[in-house]
């Protein structure tokens, strides 16, 4: 199955470079190019790509706003956003995940890493670059946004104890293989629990499942060290 990709970046040369790289792979194709977030949303509605490769800093509508709009549209539920930017900072990582992004990579990644990242996101797994460490994610995801609900997330009641356990370990940054080893389960069983949790919580992918785990209080970060 061919992965259909929408490129979003305000730099024409970068878009051309990404197109050449992606189109050279038989399992991928570029279906459109956008120079800002507004164009990205419009083209996503038209083409319904599997992946939107999204820059953050763009004129008019930036990548975070565009990601929020794309991920909020029911008709684009199957479209996933991979943030690719030079601004690989704590706040941007958290904002991108809150907006619904499935992954985050710096523009300094190798061509192979970018292609692997696209395939990872298309498969429904979360992707965070090495610079987006677990401590940064937990610190910012657990900071309430203005107007955010403070009541416990009632959706968690739909999960079985095992689904909660697997979701907790996934939110701590463990891979399916690591969870399977820890719980003495098969990797396939772990993946099944993850998929069921995603379905019950209406999470589009593993990244959103992690966001829900922290924001619902199912997982809490370790206490910060005293200054």
Tens of pLDDT, residues 137-167: 555 555 555 555 444 567 788 999 999 999 9
Q: In the chain, what are the domains?
A: 3-132 (3.40.50.2300), 154-215 (1.10.10.10)
What's residue 173's pLDDT? Answer: 73
CA dihedral 116, 221, 163, 186 (to 10 degrees): 50
H helix or E strand, kind and range, residue 30? strand 28-34
φ, ψ of residue 223 in degrees (nearest 5): -60, 145
Predicted model pTM: 0.72
Q: Which residue blocks in 5-101 are alpha helix, DSSP H?
A: 12-23, 37-47, 63-72, 90-99
Between these two residues, 223 and 197, which has the higher pLDDT value? Answer: 197
DSSP three-state, residue 102: coil
What's the whole-number mean pLDDT along residues 192-206?
A: 88
- Contact partners, residue 174, CB within 8 Å, separation at least 6: 182
> Tokens for 194?
């993850």
What's residue 161's pLDDT? Answer: 94
What's residue 135's pLDDT? Answer: 47
Q: What is the mean pLDDT of the chain?
A: 82
Residue 62, judged by CB atoms within 10 A of its CB (0-12, 13-18, 19+), counts as middle
């Amino acid at each position: 199955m061919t992965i259909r990709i929408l490129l979003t970046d305000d730099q024409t040369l970068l878009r051309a470079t990404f197109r050449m790289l992606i189109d050279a792979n038989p399992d991928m194709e570029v279906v459109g190019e956008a120079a800002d977030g507004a164009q990205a949303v419009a083209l996503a509605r038209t083409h319904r790509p599997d992946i939107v490769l999204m820059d953050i800093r763009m004129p008019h509508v930036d990548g975070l706003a565009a990601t929020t709009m794309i991920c909020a549209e029911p008709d684009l539920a199957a479209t996933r956003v991979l943030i690719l930017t030079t601004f690989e900072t704590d706040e941007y990582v958290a904002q991108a995940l809150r907006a619904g992004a499935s992954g985050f990579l710096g523009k300094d990644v190798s061509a192979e890493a970018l292609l692997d990242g696209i395939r990872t996101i298309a498969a429904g797994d979360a992707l965070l670059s090495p610079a987006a460490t677990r401590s940064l994610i937990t610190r910012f995801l657990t900071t309430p946004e203005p107007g955010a609900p403070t009541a416990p997330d009632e959706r968690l009641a739909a999960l079985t104890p095992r689904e909660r356990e697997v979701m907790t370990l996934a939110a701590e940054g463990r891979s399916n293989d690591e969870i399977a080893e820890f719980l003495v389960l098969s990797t396939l069983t772990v993946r099944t629990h993850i998929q069921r949790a995603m379905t019950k919580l209406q999470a589009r992918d593993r990244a959103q499942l992690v966001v829900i785990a922290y924001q619902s209080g199912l997982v809490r970060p370790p206490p910060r060290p005293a200054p």
